[in-house]
Amino acid sequence: MSSRKKLIAGNWKMNKTSAEATALVTDVVTAVGKLTDVDIVVCPPFTALESAGKALADSNIRLGAQNMHPEATGAYTGEISAGMLRALFATYVILGHSERRALFAETDAFINQKVHAALKNQLKPILCVGESLAEREGGSTLKVVQTQLEAGLEGVGKDQVSSVVIAYEPVWAIGTGKVATTDQAQEVHAFIRGLLTKNFGEAIAQKVRILYGGSMKPANAPDLLAQKDIDGGLIGGASLEARSFVELVNAAAAAK
């Protein structure tokens, strides 16, 4: 059994209005808002952060954003800073999601700037890494993950890295219904833990949570969450309904 508390984070992507966010978060709070043995995070779109934040106030559920810009203020039309997220009481931020990398051309260097800006503002980054189908089939999964992880964490100190959450998300499993097998997922999670050990030392590497993301559902979650190095899930589709999200939280509570 690991000493790391499991974490279930919902990535709502571009879904839910402000009013819909209130309704969904209210249902999640009613079901698991007092739970203390799993960390629960919801990441609504920027426009719903405020309403979601109000609905989860006084519960144990935390608020996260899906992205941010590394600069604090300035001429960056359409962007949002870490300070703005903190002002809405967000405490987590997803960085380097594969959709940001693929659709918005985000590089490892840019993602690394965001990691530093998040940490400077007491936001916990959920740093996403993962290979495409072509990369897996070409045998370069571990190399791709290593590059994304080490570049994303470049310059992050030993005193900071336990505030970072890593999410291993094989791109071919995101939103496709194709989940990685438990062996495939555990192999990469153990590899990531090994890299963290090499770069930051054993004691710190044992504290960092590594989430699995990619079509995690109530039916496949128990097996994934039972793996030694899988410390929770970053959930897309199944986080959009209270029932499936709550089932995943309960699966994490049962797996601890």
Q: How many residues in the shown chain lie near ligand PEP by CB under 6 A?
A: 13
Closest CA to 5 of 231, 246, 247, 238: 231
Does 96 participate in binding ligand PEP (rule CB under 6 A)? no
> Between 205 and 242, whose beta carbon lies closer to ligand PEP?
242
The catalytic position among 99, 131, 135, 169 is 169
**Nearest position to ligand PEP, beta carbon:** 236
Cβ neighbours for 4, distance < 8 A, ≥ 6 positions apart: 206, 207, 208, 209, 231
Name the minimum Å distance from CB 68 to ligand PEP. Answer: 16
> Between 65 and 205, whose beta carbon lies closer to ligand PEP?
65
Does 11 participate in binding ligand PEP (rule CB under 6 A)? yes
Half-sphere exposure of 69 (CA within 13 A, CB side): 12
Q: Reply yes or no on whether 169 is catalytic.
A: yes
Closest CA to 137 of 168, 182, 105, 170: 170
Does 215 participate in binding ligand PEP (rule CB under 6 A)? yes
What type of residue is 21? A
Does 214 participate in binding ligand PEP (rule CB under 6 A)? yes
Half-sphere exposure of 17 (CA within 13 A, CB side): 2
The catalytic position among 97, 99, 106, 131 is 97
Strand 38-43 to strand 61-65: parallel, antiparallel, or no bridges (unpaired)?
parallel
- Where do contacts with ligand PEP occur on this chain (CB under 6 A)? 11, 169, 174-175, 213-216, 234-238
What residues are labeled active site?
A: 97, 169
